[in-house]
């Protein structure tokens, strides 16, 4: 290879920088426009159906039960999976000392679980809970399925949040006579909460949009009831159902309206978790 001497005159850092900046900005604008081109027609289409009776009425086609189901499904599964994930993550990061093969197996297992398609988890739940234990297709079954799905992800972000805290803080605490538990309780957890809450928000938002696993476990029916063992159709499943099998004159509008409501909840959860993380950080 013959090396060309570096010709400073042929380098134009400022011009290249400006070009790159302009290109990236243009891409961002295109992305934003694409998003709006989906969102605006959706809202436009949804407007006729976004009525009080549709949102919280008891009549035919009202989505009140679906809203309730979505909240119990998502809330229940977080309630089930997050504490478990926290315990596992804490044990993994704060208690296990060795870098031995067991730890590698655990990490490998966690990664594998992360990439299992949700439909597979749904099938497992159907196989075990419904077929073997004779659980009904219900909110509760859906919660278990979602929790199973959410759990590996929760472990992953808990582990990440804990690992981001520098080891020298732990050393400082131990050197003052703090036990492992005290160090976790008074130093590590307060530092890790904000990131964990924010990540939990993201995970929750993802769960809200989950359909495949829920179709078999929570079902495609909804009714006004307060039991976890009743039919548990969620907003996302409802949306899917309307879009695929919806009949009636304004099924499309109702589908769009359901989508808008779901989107609103997602945004709310994301915003809320972010605010809470911020608040925890400053506390």
Partner 1 sequence: MVEKRLTKREGVSTILDIRVQELEVWYGPAKALENVSLHLEQGAVLALIGPSGCGKSTFLRVLNRMIDQVPTVRVKGSVHIGAFNVLDDDIDVTALRRTVGMVFQQPNPFPMTIFDNVAYGPRLAGVRSATKLRQIVEDSLKKSALWDEVRGKLRRSAMTLSGGQQQRLCMARALAVHPHVLLLDEPTASLDPVSTAKIEELIVQFKGRYTMVIVTHNLQQAARVSDLVAFFEQGHLVEMGPTHDIFTAPQERRTEEFLTGRFE
Q: Residue by residue, what is the 3-state secondary structure of 173-206?
A: HHHCCCCHHHHHHHHHHHHHHHHHHHHHHHHHHH
172 binds partner 1 (CB under 8 A): yes
- 99 binds partner 1 per the rule CB under 8 A: yes
> For residues 94 and 160, which CB has a smaller minimum distance to partner 1 in the complex?
94
Minimum CB–partner distance for residue 167 and partner 1 (Å): 9
Span of 113-121, 161-169, 201-209, 245-253 interacting with partner 1 by CB under 8 A: 161-169
Instruction: Examine residue 38 and tell whether it contacts partner 1 (CB under 8 A).
Output: no
b/e map of 104-141 (b: 16 or more CB within 10 Å)? eebeeebeebeeeebeebbbebbeebbeeeebebbbbb
Count, residues near partner 1 per rule CB under 8 A: 21
Indicate which single residue of 44, 91, 186, 229 sits in contact with partner 1 (rule: CB under 8 A). Answer: 186
**Nearest distance in Å: CB 179, partner 1:** 7
Rounded distance between C-alpha atoms, residue 272 and residue 197, angstroms: 10
Provide the minimum distance between the beta carbon of 107 and partner 1 in the complex, in angstroms, as a whole number.
16
| Residue with smaller CB distance to partner 1, 112 or 179 | 179
- Which of 1, 10, 125 lies closest to 73 in space, CA to CA? 125
Establish if 97 lies at the interface with partner 1 (CB under 8 A).
yes
DSSP 8-state code for residue 82 = H
User: Of the ranges 16-24, 92-100, 134-142, 149-157, which one interacts with partner 1 (CB under 8 A)?
Assistant: 92-100
Angle between helices 139-163 and 189-208 (to 10 degrees): 140
**From 2, 4, 60, 98, residue interacting with partner 1 (rule: CB under 8 A):** 98
How far from 137 is each of 18, 45, 108, 175, 252, CA to CA, in Å?
Answer: 58, 32, 32, 53, 27
Interface contacts to partner 1, rule CB under 8 A: 97-100, 166, 168-169, 171-179, 182, 186-187, 190-191
């Amino acid at each position: 290879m013959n090396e060309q001497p570096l010709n400073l005159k042929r380098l134009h850092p400022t011009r290249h920088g400006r070009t790159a900046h302009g290109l990236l900005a243009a891409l961002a604008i295109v992305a934003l426009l694409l998003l709006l081109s989906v969102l605006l027609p959706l809202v436009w289409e949804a407007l006729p159906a976004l009525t009080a009776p549709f949102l919280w009425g008891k009549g035919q086609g009202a989505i009140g039960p679906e809203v309730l189901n979505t909240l119990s499904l998502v809330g229940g599964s977080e309630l089930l999976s997050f504490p478990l994930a926290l315990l596992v993550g804490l044990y993994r990061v704060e208690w296990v000392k060795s870098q031995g093969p067991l730890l590698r197996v655990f990490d490998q297992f966690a990664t594998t679980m992360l990439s299992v398609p949700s439909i597979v988890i749904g099938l497992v739940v159907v196989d075990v809970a419904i077929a073997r234990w004779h659980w009904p297709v219900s909110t509760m079954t859906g919660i278990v399925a979602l929790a199973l799905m959410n759990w590996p992800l929760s472990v992953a972000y808990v582990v990440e949040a804990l690992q981001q805290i520098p080891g020298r803080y732990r050393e400082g605490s131990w050197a003052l006579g703090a036990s492992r538990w005290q160090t976790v309780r008074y130093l590590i957890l307060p530092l890790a909460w904000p990131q964990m809450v924010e990540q939990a928000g993201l995970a929750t938002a993802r769960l809200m949009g989950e359909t495949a696993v829920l179709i078999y476990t929570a079902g495609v029916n909804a009714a006004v009831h307060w039991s976890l063992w009743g039919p548990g159709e969620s907003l996302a499943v409802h949306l899917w159902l309307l879009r695929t099998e919806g009949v009636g004159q304004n099924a499309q509008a109702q589908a769009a309206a359901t989508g808008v409501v779901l989107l609103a909840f997602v945004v709310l959860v994301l915003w809320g978790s972010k605010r809470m993380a911020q608040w925890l950080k400053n506390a």
